């Protein structure tokens, strides 16, 4: 099938000499690969260097004034001074239908694509592949030459909030970044399983049940479980604090018996017993907890849907069987990895991992004195169970960098337990903090509050432009979507590891590199499409040789890069790789409108320009959806 598409493309580019096939070359879906392949063949003839060395050495450039592709001469590992080699090779360069004659500068040879054939390759490709332009479904195959062997499986664990507790900035970022990574791997043809690993187990959920008995309301629980459970949890925690203070006070007053009575019968002890019943499978205790969990998940689902996220699995700390953790603990003990310390079970990494690395990992507690398993132990057993269940090829944990040490310890323990092959397949994707995230009503508690608040703010911004505002059909819904885009774009603009300031005014502005700016760029393309209203046949018959203006060729060159950008993002795993491209693309686009008018142009020119804008719309739409945004068609 790939060959057939290559033929189609070759037919499209009548001038094109036969393409050689190279590994990781996908000319049927990536226009730049046509050029890579072509330039490789020429350079191979000139230099005699193995094409397998040349092909990957043809790198993309940061900006188009540096060329569409560039070769670092030393990368070909030919003896001699790079500068002299460059001159010698370029003297032998033969005229190419696709590439301008290169002029080498020092160690580099930049290649500039000839605009005519590029337009013929890129525009029809984007228009034909539509939502798939930029995707490369063969990358995720177990065997690229044999799709029948199936897809590789990727597990992305992300968001993972804690029931009855605030959804904080760390969860927000995990949700946004994890959703994006899952989309990215899907675009690369992996079989992606999205898992939400809820914090839903531990003594605090025994406490929550007690709190519900005292403060709960059935009606509130069904109406707004997330807020209600949180309020109940806050109240019962206040009781606990009060009790503790009371016990201390009594103790200080010498009333040791009364203090002890509180410790023996107070909420804290009751919570411990309640949770013990839960771990022993006591039905009534579990039923209440399960309702809390189910109702919360139902609400989470609604909110995630607004971010275009759905999960395959709602897992959680509660889902790890006690027996499995005991078995893991036994295995660690048998292997001599753990030691008893005051009744607790701990692992001292310095004793098992040589050098600095061992010291920096410190000590980890796996089991408390009272026998309860901890966060870390659950994570270990859950990973082993996931491997059994999903037989994943890779797994990504999207968790804040505050938990770097936890994940390092966790992965290392799995390796020390002898599961080297599993440990080699897991990866922690971390990220920095959000500073000053608060709503107008105070500090943020839940994702819905954040989104509602940004939506309100966005609505205010839109209302400032009265004329435009009147034209928006459903301003509240539009403000909502734009607000969500604002939050997501701000989050994905910098490198993951950087902290950033949650800035409501900056993120909702239509100026600058913001979500609303991207949405506006998309809506404008949709509006042009509606106004010009050319048929599919008219666009298909467009003559691209009419696209000669520098603004047109610049835009075509940027659009050609999109499949490469996706591929590069699979290496960086940084949303900013897509974001940076997208702002470059939309700036090029905005700059072009005054120069590439459609309405009022000659019919043929109109067709060619419209086809170009159509491929821009497709590219922008695909990139926005990859990021998890919902592109709007009107605003």
Nearer to ligand ARG, 162 or 338 (CB): 162
Smaller CB separation from ligand ARG, 204 or 481: 204
- HSE of 88, CA atoms in CB hemisphere, 13 A: 11
DSSP 8-state class, residue 80: S
Burial of 264 (0-12, 13-18, 19+ CB in 10 A): exposed
Count, residues near ligand ARG per rule CB under 6 A: 8
Q: Among residues 379 and 491, whose Cβ is nearest to ligand ARG?
A: 379
If one asks whether residue 197 binds ligand ARG (CB under 6 A), the answer comes out as yes
Q: Are 484 and 451 in contact (CB under 8 A)?
A: yes
Residue 132: C-alpha distances to residues 187, 193, 478 (Å): 8, 20, 26
| CA atoms within 13 A of residue 594's CA, in its CB half-sphere | 4
* In the complex, least distance from residue 384 CB atom to ligand ARG, rounded to whole angstroms: 13
Which CB sits closer to ligand ARG, 160 or 615? 160
Nearest approach in angstroms of CB 348 to ligand ARG is: 22
**Nearest to ligand ARG of 433, 605 (CB atom):** 433
Residue 162 found at the interface with ligand ARG (CB under 6 A) = yes
Residue 379 within binding range of ligand ARG, rule CB under 6 A = yes
Stretch that binds ligand ARG, among 129-137, 155-163, 246-254, 566-574 (CB under 6 A): 155-163
**Of the listed pieces 113-121, 137-145, 154-162, 286-294, which binds ligand ARG according to CB under 6 A?**
154-162
* CB nearer to ligand ARG: pick between 157 and 513: 157
CB of 157 to ligand ARG, least distance (A): 6
CB half-sphere exposure, 50, CA atoms < 13 A: 6
Q: Which of 67, 82, 166, 199 binds ligand ARG (CB under 6 A)?
A: 199
3-state SS, residue 339: strand
User: Is 165 assigned a catalytic role?
Assistant: yes
Contact assessment for residue 453 and residue 446, using Cβ atoms and an 8 Å cutoff? no
Interaction of residue 233 with ligand ARG, rule CB under 6 A: no
* Contact stretch for ligand ARG (CB under 6 A) within 157-165, 179-187, 440-448, 591-599: 157-165
Residue 167 is a binding residue for ligand ARG (CB under 6 A) = no
If binding is defined by CB under 6 A, does position 431 make contact with ligand ARG?
A: no
Decide: residue 587, CB within 10 A, 0-12 exposed, 13-18 middle, 19+ buried: middle
Q: CB count, 10 Å around CB of 401? A: 18
Per annotation, catalytic residue among 165, 203, 457, 459: 165
Neighbours of 466 (CB within 10 A): 8
Is residue 492 at the binding interface for ligand ARG, with CB under 6 A as the rule? no
Kindly report the CA angle at 563 between 9 and 76, in degrees rounded to 5? 90
DSSP string, 284-302: HHHHHHHHHHHHHHHHHHH
- Cβ closer to ligand ARG: 152 or 165? 165
Given 40, 41, 96, 160, the residue binding ligand ARG (CB under 6 A): 160
Report how far residue 267's alpha carbon sits from residue 206's, in angstroms, rounded to the nearest whole number: 10
DSSP 229-298: HHHHHHHHHHHHHHHHHHHHHHHHTT-HHHHHHHHHHSHHHHHHHHHHHHHTT-HHHHHHHHHHHHHHHH
Among 397, 544, 562, 581, binds ligand ARG (CB under 6 A): 397
**CB closer to ligand ARG, 38 vs 168:** 168
Note every long-range contact of 595-602, with CB atoms under 8 Å and residues 24 or more positions apart, other chains counting.
595/549, 595/551, 595/552, 596/549, 596/551, 596/552, 598/528, 598/532, 599/531, 599/532
Q: Which of 104, 151, 171, 228 is catalytic?
A: 171
**Nearest distance in Å: CB 414, ligand ARG:** 12
Q: What's the residue count for the chain?
A: 635
- The active-site residue, picked from 38, 104, 168, 607, is 168
Structure-block tokens of residue 589: 């686009």
Given the rule CB under 6 A, which of 131-139, 156-164, 518-526, 621-629 is the region that contacts ligand ARG? 156-164
Select 162 or 619, whichever has its Cβ closest to ligand ARG: 162
Nearest-approach distance from CB 443 to ligand ARG, in angstroms:
17
Residues 6+ away with beta carbon under 8 Å from 529:
610, 613, 614, 617
x-or-dash string of contact with ligand ARG, 299-338, rule CB under 6 A:
----------------------------------------
Q: How far is the CB of 196 from ligand ARG (least distance, A)?
A: 9
DSSP H or E segment with residue 86: helix 82-91
Choose, by CB under 6 A, the member of 109, 373, 399, 618 that binds ligand ARG: 399
Q: Is 159 in the site for ligand ARG (CB under 6 A)?
A: no
Residues 6+ apart with CB under 8 A from 32: 60, 68, 69, 560, 561, 563, 564
Q: How far is the CB of 168 from ligand ARG (least distance, A)?
A: 8
Nearest approach, Cβ of residue 450 and ligand ARG (Å): 16
Q: Closest Cα partner for 414 from 388, 382, 373?
A: 382
Give catalytic residues, as residue numbers.
165, 168, 171
Which positions lie near ligand ARG, rule CB under 6 A? 157, 160, 162, 197, 199, 379, 397, 399
């Amino acid at each position: 099938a790939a060959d057939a598409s290559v033929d189609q493309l070759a037919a499209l580019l009548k001038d094109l000499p036969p393409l050689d096939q190279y590994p990781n070359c996908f000319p049927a879906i990536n226009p730049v690969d046509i050029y890579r392949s072509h330039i490789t063949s020429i350079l191979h003839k000139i230099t005699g260097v193995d094409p397998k060395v040349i092909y990957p050495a043809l790198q993309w450039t940061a900006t188009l004034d540096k060329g569409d592709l560039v070769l670092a001469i030393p990368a070909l590992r030919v003896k001699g001074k790079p500068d002299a080699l460059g001159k010698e090779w370029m003297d032998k360069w033969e005229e190419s239908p696709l590439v301008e004659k290169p002029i080498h500068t020092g160690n580099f040879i930049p290649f500039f694509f000839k605009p005519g054939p590029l337009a013929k390759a890129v525009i029809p490709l984007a228009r034909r592949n539509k939502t798939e332009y930029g995707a490369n479904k063969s990358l995720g195959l177990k065997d690229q030459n044999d799709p029948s062997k199936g897809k590789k499986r990727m597990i992305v664990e992300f968001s993972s909030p804690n029931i009855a507790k605030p959804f904080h900035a760390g969860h927000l970022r995990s949700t946004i970044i994890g959703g994006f990574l899952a989309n990215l791997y899907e675009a690369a043809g992996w079989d992606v399983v999205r898992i939400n690993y809820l914090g839903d187990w531990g003594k605090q959920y025994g406490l929550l049940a007690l709190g519900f008995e005292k403060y709960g309301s059935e009606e509130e629980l069904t109406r707004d479980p997330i807020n209600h459970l949180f309020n109940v949890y806050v109240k019962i925690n206040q009781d606990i604090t009060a009790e503790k203070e009371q016990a201390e006070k009594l103790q200080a007053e010498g009333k040791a018996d009364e203090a002890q009575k509180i410790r023996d019968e107070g909420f804290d002890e009751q919570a411990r017993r309640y949770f013990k019943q839960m771990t022993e499978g006591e039905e009534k205790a579990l039923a209440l907890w399960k309702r809390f969990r189910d109702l919360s998940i139902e609400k989470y689902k609604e909110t995630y849907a607004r971010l275009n996220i759905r999960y395959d699995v709602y897992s959680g700390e509660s889902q790890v069987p006690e027996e499995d953790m005991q078995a893991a603990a036994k295995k660690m003990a048998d292997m001599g990895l753990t030691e008893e310390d005051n009744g607790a079970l701990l692992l001292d990494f310095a004793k098992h991992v040589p050098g600095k690395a061992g010291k920096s990992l410190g000590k980890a507690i796996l089991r408390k004195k009272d026998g309860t398993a901890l966060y870390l132990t659950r994570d270990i057993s859950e990973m082993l169970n996931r491997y059994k269940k999903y037989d994943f090829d890779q797994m990504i944990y999207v968790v804040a960098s505050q938990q770097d040490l936890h994940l390092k310890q966790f992965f290392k323990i799995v390796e020390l337990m002898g599961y080297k092959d599993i440990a080699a397949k897991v990866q922690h994707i971390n990220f920095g903090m959000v500073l000053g995230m608060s709503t107008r009503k105070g500090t943020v508690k839940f994702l819905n509050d954040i989104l509602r608040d940004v939506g309100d703010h966005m609505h205010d911004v839109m209302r400032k432009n009265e004329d435009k505002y009147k034209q928006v059909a459903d301003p509240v819904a539009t403000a909502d979507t734009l607000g969500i885009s604002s939050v997501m774009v701000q989050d994905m603009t910098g490198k993951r590891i950087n902290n950033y300031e949650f800035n409501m005014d900056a993120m909702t502005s239509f100026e600058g590199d913001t979500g609303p700016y991207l949405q506006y760029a998309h809506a404008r393309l949709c509006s042009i499409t509606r106004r010009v209203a050319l048929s599919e046949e008219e666009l298909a018959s467009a003559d691209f040789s009419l696209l000669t203006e520098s603004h047109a060729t610049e835009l075509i060159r940027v659009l050609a890069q999109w499949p490469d950008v996706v591929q590069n993002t699979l290496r960086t795993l940084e949303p900013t790789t897509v974001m940076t491209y997208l702002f470059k693309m939309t700036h090029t686009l905005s700059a072009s409108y005054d120069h590439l008018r459609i309405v009022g142009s000659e019919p043929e020119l109109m067709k060619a320009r419209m086809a170009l804008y159509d491929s821009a719309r497709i590219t922008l739409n695909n990139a926005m959806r990859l990021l998890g945004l919902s592109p709007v068609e009107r605003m």
